[in-house]
Amino acid sequence: MSANPSHASPARSSRRPRPARPARPESGLRRTLRCVRPHLRGHRWLMAGGFSALAFDVVFRLVEPWPVKLVVDAVSRALGATLHKPGPSLDASVQTLVLCGAFVVAIALGRAVANYWSAICFALIGSRVAADLRARAFRHVQSLSMRHHTRASTGDTVQRLVGDVSRLQEVAVTAGLPLLGNTITLVLMTGILLWLDPLLSLVVFLAGGVFALLSRASSGPITAAAGSSRKGEGHLATTAAQTLGAIREVQAYGLEDTISSGFRKSNQATLGTGVAALRLAAGLERRTDVLIGIATAVVLAGGGWRVLEHAITPGDLVVFLMYLKTGMKPLKDLAKQTGRIARATASGERVADLLEAQTDLPEAPHARRLDSARPDIVLDNVSAGHGAGPVLHGISLTIPAGEHLAVLGPSGAGKSTLASLVLRMIDPSTGSVRVGGEDLRGLTIASVRSHVSILLQDSVLFGTSVRDNIRFGRLDATDAEIEEAAVLAQADGFIRALPDGYDTVLGEAAKDLSGGQRQRIAIARAVLRQAPIVILDEATAGLDPVSRNAVLQALDTLTRGRTSITITHDAHSARSCDRIIWLEHGRVVETGRPDDLLRDSGSRFAQWMADQDPGVPDRPGGVDQGEARQVVP
């Protein structure tokens, strides 16, 4: 009998595996705890001391109502009340009253000491964990590639490193740890209430259940509003950082009112989301107050009825009411701190996002160190770029050790991208970059960069002493080596003329120095590094003739005997190199020795030189143009 296909199809379809459900996104609180947990391991003794003090505080809270119960029951008996419930009974004597009063004072002192030590221990833990977390995040941010930093906002990153980590620390110490102690107290008190009277203890369970429903309905909107508020604050930090960084241009173009107007609008929007979070948290807190009031009323009325039935004593009712007040405190505190906890959770998510950002420059598990005194550089069919699309297309280039190469071309041709490849700031999308015969992707990043010195148009100097700024080139350098490097960079004279010489602390971005002086300090740093490869990216741009000549002489000292890549629009710097390549649209379209290219009036280099210096002859002659120029298709 043949099978009926119409019947077979459903059977086959029923055996098909169901598509996997998408994984639920991890909660912000869980992500935050995962970031913090590794930093808690080194503080075990402090944590043990803090939790021990917290445990004593809980014990003191549990015994606090009992002296009051004993006094109430003793006085009730002395006034003629009949208490049928079995249990310890005391006479209402002066000694009893004094002894119970002394117990109350002792409990208060014990709680004060326990609270003090738990607060100190947990504050120390919070401060140290926050410092460790901030240092870890800062180190991670520095390891991310230029592609990440191009897309990321500097102001927002700083806000995450400073503001968000501080908020995590503050809330953990002032809200999280007290809530932990209160929650433990609530659980233990509930057990005692069940022992005293199971019927009245139901009120605590019902109140807790209602609060859980109220909190669940409110926590989502509060967290969302808090997250929007923190995001808005990050945008504000970015705007402020950009404005202050370009304050000269802002003032020169009279943009103060325009930028202030935009800042004001963003500020109002951030204020609105912050107020929304506070309003939601305040609503939850007031509803919790009403809930606790209702629970207290039920216990008061029901407990009084139970006393009349002789099921409990008046002292038991006092214990119930005091436990209810203390036991409900976690709910009230949780409602009060919900907004702060939500903002801390939003901050924790922002820190987690920063820590989870992956570099697109992974280091191989068994990466080797680059160890070559005179490495050559080979780019083999390389395509690369910083953004979505490639800037360089199929570049093949060999730079022998010791050669001085000039890279010319119009803006956007890919000159700085080529330099980034050698530094391994980016990786090629196709092809390979080899230094000293080794593919950079198989080498440790630190060893690759230790072989390169770089000098930019706007050299970065840090807000520390001149000596330390030079020492950043090689951290183990002696003071004598630093001063020798400054002499070679022709910086020693003006450095010694500074108020404190080499120990003069520079202002932000060294704005108290001229451009030529900043460049020569940066050159001294590069000389001290003694790296076999030197990259010069517009190192003389924007300098006056006197400063430019001094910098050029220092650069000659820096590049002597080293492989150098000079990205420049300076005719003198280009002509002094051994070879020139011309980049256009991400491709090498021309290469050759400067003198050879100058003899060909049709070469791009000769035309560029004529534009730079009209006195340069278009065609020196004596050499065939076709032989002089090498054009790379």
pLDDT interval class at 575 (50, 70, 90): confident
> How confident is the model at residue 113, as a pLDDT?
93
d(CA 571, CA 494): 28
DSSP annotation of 419 reads H
Domain ranges of the chain: 28-356, 367-451+533-544+562-633, 461-530
pLDDT interval class at 338 (50, 70, 90): low
Q: 359 or 293: which carries more pLDDT confidence? A: 293
Place of tokens 């020795």: 593
Residue range 132-162, pLDDT digits in tens: 888 888 888 887 766 666 666 677 777 788 7
Residue range 565-571: average pLDDT? 85
432 pLDDT higher than 60 = yes
How many of the other CB atoms lie within 10 Å of CB of 601?
15
Give yes or no for a contact between 229 and 277, defined as CB atoms under 8 angstroms apart: yes
CA distances from 85 to 91, 300, 309, 321, 420 (A): 16, 19, 11, 18, 85
Q: 458 or 496: which carries more pLDDT confidence? A: 496
d(CA 484, CA 491): 10
Q: 548 or 537: which carries more pLDDT confidence? A: 537
Residue range 380-407, pLDDT digits in tens: 999 887 766 788 888 899 999 999 999 9
The CATH number for 28-356, chosen from 3.30.540.10, 1.20.1560.10, 3.40.50.300, 3.40.1410.10, is 1.20.1560.10
> How confident is the model at residue 17, as a pLDDT?
46
> How confident is the model at residue 8, as a pLDDT?
43
Residue range 214-227: average pLDDT? 68
Whether 28-356 shares its CATH topology with 461-530 is answered no
Residue range 15-29: average pLDDT? 52
DSSP per-residue string spanning 461-482: --SSBHHHHHHTT-TT--HHHH
> How confident is the model at residue 230, as a pLDDT?
63
> How confident is the model at residue 106, as a pLDDT?
92
33 pLDDT higher than 60 = yes
> How confident is the model at residue 109, as a pLDDT?
94
Task: Give the closest residue to 533 by CA, choosing from 590, 455, 481, 456.
Answer: 455
Instruction: Please write down the HEC assignment for all residues of 90-127.
Output: CCCCHHHHHHHHHHHHHHHHHHHHHHHHHHHHHHHHHH
626 pLDDT higher than 50 = no
Residue 344: phi and psi, rounded to 5, are -65, -40
Which CATH class for the 367-451+533-544+562-633 domain?
alpha beta
If residue 59 lies in a helix (H) or strand (E), which one and from where to where?
A: helix 44-63
* pTM score over 0.85: no
d(CA 304, CA 313): 9
Calculate the average pLDDT of the chain. 77
Task: Give the closest residue to 513 by CA, choosing from 586, 580, 460.
Answer: 460
579 pLDDT higher than 90 = yes
Give yes or no for a contact between 344 and 31, defined as CB atoms under 8 angstroms apart: no
240 half-sphere exposure, CB direction, 13 A CA radius: 13
Cα dihedral 367, 371, 374, 375 in deg (nearest 10): -10
d(CA 207, CA 358): 46
Task: Give the closest residue to 613 by CA, choosing from 570, 580, 581.
Answer: 570
The CATH superfamily label for domain 461-530 reads P-loop containing nucleotide triphosphate hydrolases (3.40.50.300)
Give yes or no for a contact between 397 and 379, defined as CB atoms under 8 angstroms apart: yes
Considering the chain, what percentage of its residues have pLDDT values greater than 70?
A: 76
Choose from 81-95, 177-191, 424-438 the range with maximum mean pLDDT: 424-438
Burial (Cβ within 10 Å: 0-12, 13-18, ≥19) of residue 411: exposed
How many of the other CB atoms lie within 10 Å of CB of 78?
12
DSSP annotation of 160 reads I
